[in-house]
Structure 1
Amino acid sequence: MVQGARKIMISAGEASGDMYGAVLAREISALDFKTAFIGMGGPGMRAAGVETVVDANEMAVVGLVEVIAHFPVIVKAFNTLKNILHSDPPDLLILIDYPDFNLRLAKVAKKAGVKVLYFISPQVWAWRAGRVKKIGRVIDQMAVLFPFEVPYYEREQVPVTFVGHPLLDMVRPTMTKAEATTKFGLADGRRVIGLFPGSRRGEIKSLFPVILQSARLLKDRHPDIEFVLPLASSLKREELQPSLDASGLEIKVVENATHDVIQVCDAIITVSGTVTMEIAILGVPMVIIYKVSPFTYAVGKRLIKVDHIGICNIVAGERAVKELIQHDAEPEKIAAEITAILEDTEYAIKIRKSLAAVPAKLGSGGALHRVAQLALSLMRENEKT
């Protein structure tokens, strides 16, 4: 560690947070090369020079029942970061999404006298808006993705900055569609269906079999189609291989090229999550599927106050793409929606037009650069006091 360096702890709990944390660490380093980083992250953050004392890949769970089953791992991770905050406090704690864990960590940091910057607000606009006041007591600055989030914090006099969405800068295919088609071993001129099973092992367990069954139905109806699957950074191919082998389908599995995979697809089956925004930005028709334990779903249905599950639909302000939730997330309905996209040209065009409105609502580029500037500003304030 460079003498006189500032130290920042970054806490990111899953694949998307790791992706943002990696770029953010590089942006901060570009502004202040002496900054050192420690915290919770995955391979992206490690490659960016962050000392990840907790592996974020172990933390990617969703749903009340699922979290309870994973509780010992979560507690161990929390205590690891908590001990560092007490024994060797950083100059700043940056929290990325993952609210249930990160807001508790923020409380520890505030007691330790550590400034807290929170990037990617908890979805207070979807449920439990009353949390804003509590959030304000444990953070020093909120950086939000969407302009409609700002008033929720301003009403409670919580410092907030609209920084825009980092995906505007990050969603960039590295090849032309023709180059990607060749590289992935896909036949030129054939229609391609993307299979996006998510980055969480819980999603793989509950939804990957459904996705593969849907693919089987589609192959039976459209023998000429091909399948491609981008492997999330938090997963290993061998975790999916038994299911892939059992499916009897030829599926091209691609690593480290999600955006190139998206652009070669005519339609995509995807779990709900950040990836729906990446797909929307590239304008590819999709069907979103979502399934959690019956208990988690029952609780969420009573609390959540938005009309859509998919963040791309929330941003679009309409049901731009179909969502199949819980018992509706079954192979026949999924295959029927993909078939409609493939066979009904007008329907596919309508979806593409709706998705085209999404990037325009995400602000301008440079989101993570603005977050980096906020981080350095907070540390400078701290040095003056």
Structure 2
Amino acid sequence: MKYYIIAGEASGDLHGANLMKEIFKEDENANIRFWGGDLMNAVGGELVSHYKERAFMGFVEVILNLRKIFGFIKFCKEDILKFNPDVIIFIDNSGFNLRVAKWAKEEGFKTSYYISPQVWASRASRVEAIKRDVDSMYVILPFEKPFYEKYDYEVTFVGHPLIDGIAGRDQVDEKSFREQYQLGNKEIIALLPGSRKQEIKKMLATMLQMVDKFPNYQFVVAGAPSQTEEFYQSFLSEKNVKFINNKTYDLLSVAKAALVTSGTATLETALFKVPQVVCYKGSWLSYQIAKRIITLQYISLVNLIMDKEVVTELIQNDFTVANLEQELQKILDETHREKLFLDYFELEKKLGGKGASAKTAKSIVNSLI
């Protein structure tokens, strides 16, 4: 069978790679063509476009790059027609994927969506378009299934793929890890400033203000695979901070606490049972627009899934040096940490068991037989 997969961003590349591995197990003759990244490319198939070419963040940047984005969409449609797949699989990346899905359905292609667009966060009216354009939706957050049921749309909850990714990794020997990266003996505070240049620039400068305020800890920046080490070094030259590229899971496994830019990383940090402060600051205009269309009480996945404030969120004007110092001090306090650990264990239970990618792949392949 022929599969056309469209993923964007580092997280989409990760989940796409795991899904592809499972598709190849279910269909050893699978012919996969995809939009993704290095992880998907390492699995096999044929890469059409790397997500780095389409990394536009925030309302303003998207508007400024509309011509380029529509050019990618046009090319994608043409490429799908040439390949003529048995199924198109969309992974998150709603701004791009929902436009292609509408066209694909009109052209008569079978459509599946793995990792739902965040229609529960804003513009719920998009559910009607999803019902029309997506044959099968596979969701990874427990509250998404009842959300879609309100709109009379049956979806499949498969559990969260991060459970598999974290459970299946090799355990890190902390002594060797510290020696390899010259981390010394101080307890580690991990800094996860995001994966896109714009957000890293906005987040990392404030995060680094904590270094001098907590001299008894070793701060380590987790580099994203989408950026070069040279890019990060411009922020780190005058600070006693270590930089480790593309080893976020290893770093979290030995960290005492973390400062994390809102996104998938907040959930990853929680699954490693690392106390965290969630941070986010966008451009003034993007924030004003988002504030008017996003209907959620929280922005971190941890708090959304638990439906209460488990981790502190410092958003926009609240993301200040003074607030960050205060909240970091809290998560280093043992009493606060004990309560947080209990909530983290409850969170993991809510996410379901292992096998999200395998369940999704099996269902998609079986639907083609």
* TM over 0.5, shorter chain: yes
How much does 1:155 deviate? 4.1
Give, as a single letter, the amino acid of the residue that structure 1 aligns with 2:144. Answer: E
Give the equivalent residue in structure 1 for 2:93. 98
2:165 aligns with 170
CA distances 1:207-243 after superposition (whole Å, capped 9, x unpaired): 222222x2xxx33233231111222121111221212
In the alignment, the residues of structure 2 paired with residue 366 and residue 257 of structure 1 have an alpha-carbon distance, to the nearest angstrom, of 23
Listed as ranges, the matches of 1:60-71 within 5 Å are 60-71=55-66
CA contact 1:60–1:201 (8 Å) conserved in 2: no
Q: 2:258 aligns with which of 256, 268, 272?
A: 268
Q: Aligned partners of 1:374, 1:202: CA distance in 2, in Å?
A: 38
Q: CA offset at residue 196 of structure 1? A: 0.5
Report deviation, 1:179. Answer: 3.5
Q: CA offsets per residue over residues 332-369 of structure 1, 9 Å max, x none?
A: 22122112222x22122222222222111101100000
1:203 is aligned to 199
1:234 is matched by which residue type in structure 2? S
Structure 1 match to 2:189: 193
Structure 2, unpaired ranges of 5+: none
Offset of 1:312 from its aligned partner? Answer: 1.1
CA shift for structure 1 position 41:
0.5
1:245-264 equivalent positions in 2, closer than 5 A: 245=237, 248-264=238-254
Superposition deviation, residue 84 in structure 1: 1.2
Asked if the contact 1:197/1:208 (under 8 Å) is kept, the reply is yes
Could you tell me how far apart the structure 1 residues matched to 2:212 and 2:222 are?
Answer: 22
Whether the aligned pair in 1 keeps the contact of 2:211 and 2:240 (CA below 8 Å) is: no
Contact 1:86 1:112 in 2 (8 A): no
1:227 to 216, 219, 234: 219
Pick from 28, 33, 41: which aligns with 1:38? 33
Residue in 1 that maps onto 2:337: 348
Aligned CA distance change for structure 1 residues 258 and 337 (closer, same or farther; 3 Å): same
The 3 A distance-change label for structure 1 pair 301 and 368 is same
Q: CA deviation at 1:272?
A: 0.4
2:281 to 271, 275, 291: 291
* 8 Å CA contact 2:211, 2:241 repeated in 1: no
Rounded to whole Å, the distance in 2 between the matches of 1:50 and 1:77 is: 20
Q: Distance in 1 between matches of 2:147 and 2:10?
A: 27
1:296 Cα offset (Å): 2.0
Deviations 1:238-283 (Å, cap 9, x if unpaired)? 22121222xx113222233211100211111110000111100111
Question: Using the alignment, how far apart are the partners of 2:200 and 2:142 within structure 1?
Answer: 33
Asked if the contact 1:43–1:233 (Cα under 8 Å) also holds between the matched residues in 2, the reply is no
Tell me the distance in 1 between the aligned counterparts of 2:199 and 2:159: 28
> Hey, what does 1:316 align to over in structure 2?
306
Of 112, 115, 121, the match for 1:117: 112
Q: Offset of 1:100 from its aligned partner?
A: 1.3
Q: Quick one: distance in 1 between partners of 2:226 and 2:24?
A: 24
**Aligned counterpart for 1:367 among listed residues 356, 359, 367:** 356
Which SS does the other structure have where 1:221 is aligned? coil
Conserved? CA contact 1:194–1:267, under 8 Å: yes
Q: Is residue 180 from structure 1 mapped to residue 174 from structure 2 by the alignment?
A: no
Distance in 2, Cα, partners of 1:205 & 1:220: 19
Distance 1:151 1:358 in 2: 18
Normalised to the residue count of structure 1, the TM-score between the two structures is: 0.90
Q: Which amino acid aligns with 2:270?
A: A
The more displaced of 41-50 and 294-303 is 294-303
Cα RMSD of the aligned pairs, angstroms, is: 1.7
- Percent identity reads 38
Structure 2 CA distance for aligned equivalents of residues 358 and 111 of structure 1: 40
State the secondary structure of the residue aligned to 2:153.
coil
Figure out how many residues of one structure are paired with residues of the other and give that number. Answer: 367
Q: Which moved more, 1:86-95 or 1:26-35?
A: 86-95
State how far apart, in whole Å, the 2-side matches of 1:69 and 1:209 are: 25
Deviation track 1:49-88 (CA, whole Å, cap 9, x = no partner) reads: 1322111022233321121123343223222211112233
Q: Which moved more, 1:314-323 or 1:220-229?
A: 220-229
Residues 136 and 158 in structure 1, CA contact (< 8 A), matched pair in contact too: yes
User: Which residue of the partner structure matches residue 152 of structure 1?
Assistant: 147
Give the deviation of 1:93 after TM superposition. 0.7
Residue 383 of structure 1 is matched in structure 2 by none
From 71, 81, 84, the equivalent of 2:79 is 84
Residues 60 and 199 of structure 1 are in contact (CA less than 8 Å); yes or no, is this contact kept in structure 2? no
